[in-house]
Chain A
Amino acid sequence: MRVISTMKFTFFRMVREYITLLLLLVVPIVLLTVFSFVLEGVTTETGEPLINEQNVIFVLVFQMFGGALAMAYIHTDFFTERKQRIYALPFNQTLYAFSIMVCGIVYSVLLGIVLMTFSEFVFGADWGNWLWAIYIIFLLALLSNIVCLIFTFSVNNFKIAERLSEVYGVGFVILAGLIFPVPGNDFFVFVNTYVNPITLAADAIYGMNQSHAGEAWFRSNILLIASGVLFIVMLILGKRKIR
């Protein structure tokens, strides 16, 4: 259990990185601010302020990129710069890799919570039950981390793995119809109802707000099961690379 003593430092390393803070905290805050300015007073057909929906989606979108940090750390620690040193240390390397992932998830969720409280208190967006919202944010961060690590372990060229992780994030943003409306045929409806993590998470949060608890649990369980399955895939792939 010597790994636990390293977690503190992994976390410090993550917090110190100002580029991450800029991309995952400052940019969303600025965008949220601008969006809320623009959308102030606009309501949907049901009379609910549009800010609610926009804010929730925004915070969830930035969770899709939360895996990039753990990915970069695993890469430098296990495959390049610090490879020799990490393997020489007297602790379980697999557990250390796992601890990096845990730190990545915790950090990403923390940023999500900061954004959530920001939008709730500053712009009055309604997040419903906070515990539920945090659970959903956690599920997205978990999924994003696992997917990013699968890319790291399965693609030999790290540059390409990084690009793939961006494709994962940006691709689902586009599929969700946030940049331009996607065609409303069966395929896209199916993807956005059962596959796309962003819409799944957003629907789970709305569902709980509008007291469709069954629906909300169903959506969040899809995310949970997907994470479970992909976690096993990640373990199998990771075992070949880290020993």
Chain B
Amino acid sequence: MTIFWFSLKRSFSNTTNLIFLTLFPVGAIFLPMGEVWPFLPYGYQFFGIIVLFVGIRLATIILEDRAKGVVKRLAVAPVTHFQYLTQNLLAFSIILILQSIIVIYGGVLYGHELYHPEWLLVLFISFSFTSLAVALAWISLYRSKETSFLVYMSVIFLIVFLGGLLMPIEAFPDILQRIAVIFPTYWLSEGIVWIVFGNDISEFLLINGVLWLYTIIFLVIGSVRRIN
């Protein structure tokens, strides 16, 4: 588990990462409640955006490894690529899960009305994994850390907006509402709506199932070993 501990340490060593990993999620707890929309306080509606950013920040560590030739050295070390990848991802996912726990139970302590905190936690954990997998697949397209982050930032803007996290999806024209289904963020916002209004558990399972389907697809794309 050396790689696991090491990647935990690395994730927290960088100042920017530290801000992303601690300050932003804690800040999200204290955002106010919307009037008509969103149904949960703003911090929880927008937490998905933070999760997406954290995902790419964490996955960039793997990109850094590839750029510095660490992956090449790992190829001759007595560590398989599978071990390297799973231990890294384990560390990242533990960070993301911890973050979700802090945000949700912090909000409960703060006194927000979260309807079903435990289901919200499940939803955010599923989305965290999706975000991580998408980021992993994304960085496999790039060589430069900066470029990948900047372009991903603009992609995040688009999928967050088109997925209906920034504006209610009902306000969109018909065609955009149909297209929205392909974005993982759409399923997150559907999940949030379920938390508030839903009562049929199978719908919630379907939403999580779609998020996990995305996770698996993107993990497969992202886990191919690339040595450059």
Contacts and interface: CB of A to CB of B under 8 A. Distances in A.
Contacts of B212: none
Given A23-B154, A37-B173, A159-B16, A180 B162 contact: no
Contact of B176 (A27, A31, A38): A38
Given A23-B150, A27-B154, A27-B157, A180 B173 contact: no
Contacts of B19: 163
B157 to A, nearest CB: 6
Contacts of A31: 157-158, 161
A177 to B, nearest CB: 11
Range class of the A interface residue count = 10 to 19
B2 interface: no
Interface string A17-58: 001001100110011001001101000000000000000000
Range class of the B interface residue count = 20 to 34
B175 to A, nearest CB: 8
Contacts of B146: 19
Interface in B161-181: 161-162, 166-167, 171-173, 176
Nearest to A20: B150
Interface string B123-136: 00000000000000
Contacts of A1: none
A19 B16 contact: no
Nearest to A174: B31
Interface in B10-26: 15-16, 19
A242 interface: no
Given A163-B16, A180-B32, A38 B167 contact: yes
Contacts of B166: 179
Nearest to A160: B15
A115 to B, nearest CB: 15
Contacts of A23: 150, 153-154
B42 interface: yes
B151 A22 contact: yes
B46 interface: yes
B31 A180 contact: yes
A36 B184 CA distance: 23
Interface string A54-68: 000000000000000
B60 to A, nearest CB: 13
Interface string B26-56: 0000011011000000100010000000000
A180 B150 contact: no
Contacts of B171: 38
Interface in A86-133: none
A68 to B, nearest CB: 10
Nearest to B167: A38
Contacts of B35: 181
A183 interface: yes
Contact of A34 (B16, B34, B161): B161
A209 B150 CA distance: 35
B46 A179 contact: yes
Interface string A175-198: 000011101000000000000000
A71 B162 CA distance: 32
Nearest to B161: A34
B173 A22 contact: no
A30 B154 CA distance: 10
B42 A180 contact: yes
16 contacts: A19-B146, A22-B150, A22-B151, A22-B154, A23-B153, A27-B157, A34-B158, A37-B176, A38-B171, A38-B176, A163-B16, A179-B166, A180-B31, A180-B42, A181-B32, A181-B34
Given A19-B147, A26-B154, A180-B32, 9 more contacts: A19-B150, A23-B150, A37-B176, A38-B171, A159-B16, A163-B16, A179-B46, A180-B42, A181-B32
Interface of A: 19, 22-23, 26-27, 30-31, 34, 37-38, 40, 159-160, 163, 179-181, 183
